[in-house]
Amino acid sequence: MELNDILQKITRLNNDIKVKIEKISLDQCSNWSYNDRFGEICNSTRDFFQIKGIRKVTNGKTVLEQPVIIQNEIGFLGIIRKKINDEYYYLMQYKIEPGNINKIQISPTIQATKSNFEQKHGGKKPTYLEYFINSNKYKVVVDQIQSEQSSRFLGKRNRNIIIELKDDETIHVYNNYDWMTLKQIKELMRFNNLVNMDTRTVLSCLPIKFEGYTSDDFNDKALYRSMFDENGVNYKTEIYQYINDLKMFSGDKTELVPLNTLSSWSMRGNELVCNEPYSFKVVFCDIEIEGREVKHWCQPLFEAIGIADFVLFTCIDKGVRLFLVKCRPEIGCFDKVEIGPTIQRDFVSNEEKDSVINYFEEKYKNKDGVIFESLLSEEGGRFYHEQNRNIIMNIDKNDLRLPEGYFWTDYKTLNELVQVNNTLNIQLRNLLSVLEY
């Protein structure tokens, strides 16, 4: 498949596949209701996921309260790859999720919750599931438990896995799948909302040191040195010390509470909304999608208010490309704090602006230093039409005096840290995935 062939196929499939999403009330949301006993919105069997209230308390005072998605099961986000004519190809799926802004997005080979592949929905088993259930029979390139959006989920994690077929092993490719190179997928990330979040997080986990790259493969030699050269700097020590201090000494506590006790949230019309400006609301949808394991169902979705900015600063320092990251505690973090991008700012944000955010806003007015920019979607299985602005920006390191919690680091360190569960957050992983090398 050439890039234009992929784009034309997506257009054709979008025209052919029937999709109907209609916002409804909770009362109309078949099989879903507010459960007084558990203080949550859930379906009749309390599986798949629930929506409960969560509060953040600091020194005995509530500083944040909101709905949160409880989905304790770990699902598969898996990609099959194979070397064809001395180049790696990845088996990608053309998939529609109910919250997608544009119907089809390029998704991993498998993208399934445990409830899906255990067929609790009564549908068919996901295609290619057997390859991942029996992953020990194949070369495993990546196998990590990684976090999801910690501002929406409580401790949600998925298994990010890439398995590699033997050169002489064949596999049937169904109509809504195709082999794509990593270069093609990264080029497609420059198109708004075309490569989904789950693809991006899985590819961000690729262990670069085992991929066989040489400096001749790179136009950006500073990025090559950032990935492979030993420069005698241990970036991890300072970052880990900061994170571990937060985990050990932070007085913040979170508690789950009945959804109807959130004093600042209420049903307004058919939506669960905050009485103050907030970054999201909860809507309820009737969904009909052809070609899914289940073709018609109802469910709640979180709808973002506006478009967030996820920004990663980069610079070249002594011939090595560095990246500016920030340690970010979030209300739903599995272990209190993860490493995020330079800026992670919702359209509606209560976060105070600091010198880094002010610096970005001043430079971005003229797109000064922007080397990547695209609107990329968040996960369409739980979020409704959420797209966020992903930006990578070249800066002069000497222009900034860093506030607390920010750290410069090389790509090698970030690629090592992504091999550790729940260390880099999903916004940073997604930004790393778009880097073209």
Distance CA 400, CA 356 (A): 7
Same domain for 122 and 259, yes or no, is no
Burial readout 209-248 (b: 16 or more C-beta within 10 A, e: otherwise): eeeeeeeeebeeebbbbbbbeeeebebbeebeebbeebee
User: Does residue 202 sit within a domain?
Assistant: yes
pLDDT greater than 90 at residue 211: no
Total structural domains in the chain? 3
Nearest partner of 325 among 202, 417, 388, judged by Cα: 417
Helix axes 426-433, 197-204, angle to 10 degrees: 80
Strand positions, DSSP E, 275-426: 280-289, 296-304, 309-317, 320-329, 337-340, 343-345, 370-377, 383-384, 387-394, 406-410
* pTM, full prediction: 0.96
What is the CATH number for 241?
3.90.79.40
Same domain for 150 and 105, yes or no, is yes
* Average pLDDT estimate for 29-47: 95
pLDDT score recorded for residue 122 = 63
Apex CA 371: angle with CA 365 and CA 373, to 5°? Answer: 70
Same domain for 243 and 261, yes or no, is no
Same domain for 197 and 87, yes or no, is yes
User: Does residue 190 sit within a domain?
Assistant: yes
The 10s digit of each residue's pLDDT in 51-61 is: 999 999 998 89
Residue 294 confidence class, pLDDT cut points 50, 70, 90: confident
16 sits in which H/E element: helix 3-16
Domain holding 300, by residue range, is 19-70+254-304
Q: Tell me the C-alpha to C-alpha distance, in Å, between residue 66 and each of 63, 155, 163, 255.
A: 11, 15, 38, 11
**Last residue within a domain, chosen from 217, 239, 274:** 217
The 10s digit of each residue's pLDDT in 153-162 is: 999 999 999 9
Query: Strand 139-147 to strand 271-274: parallel, antiparallel, or no bridges (unpaired)?
Result: unpaired
Same domain for 101 and 145, yes or no, is yes
* Residues 409/129, Cβ–Cβ less than 8 Å: no
The 10s digit of each residue's pLDDT in 236-252 is: 999 999 999 999 998 89
Same domain for 148 and 285, yes or no, is no
Same domain for 248 and 268, yes or no, is no
* Residues 390/370, Cβ–Cβ less than 8 Å: no
Q: Which residue has the higher pLDDT, 290 or 276?
A: 276
* Residues 409/184, Cβ–Cβ less than 8 Å: no
- Chain centre distance of CA 319: 31
90 sits in which H/E element: strand 87-96
Same domain for 318 and 231, yes or no, is yes
Task: Give the rounded percent of residues in the chain with a pLDDT score beyond 90.
Answer: 89
Same domain for 238 and 264, yes or no, is no
Same domain for 294 and 405, yes or no, is no
The 10s digit of each residue's pLDDT in 321-380 is: 999 999 999 999 999 999 999 999 999 998 899 999 999 999 999 999 999 999 999 999
pLDDT score recorded for residue 121 = 63
**Last residue within a domain, chosen from 196, 217, 238:** 217
pLDDT greater than 80 at residue 293: no
Query: Strand 383-384 to strand 296-304: parallel, antiparallel, or no bridges (unpaired)?
Result: parallel
Apex CA 367: angle with CA 365 and CA 372, to 5°? Answer: 140
- Average pLDDT value for the chain: 95
Same domain for 202 and 315, yes or no, is no
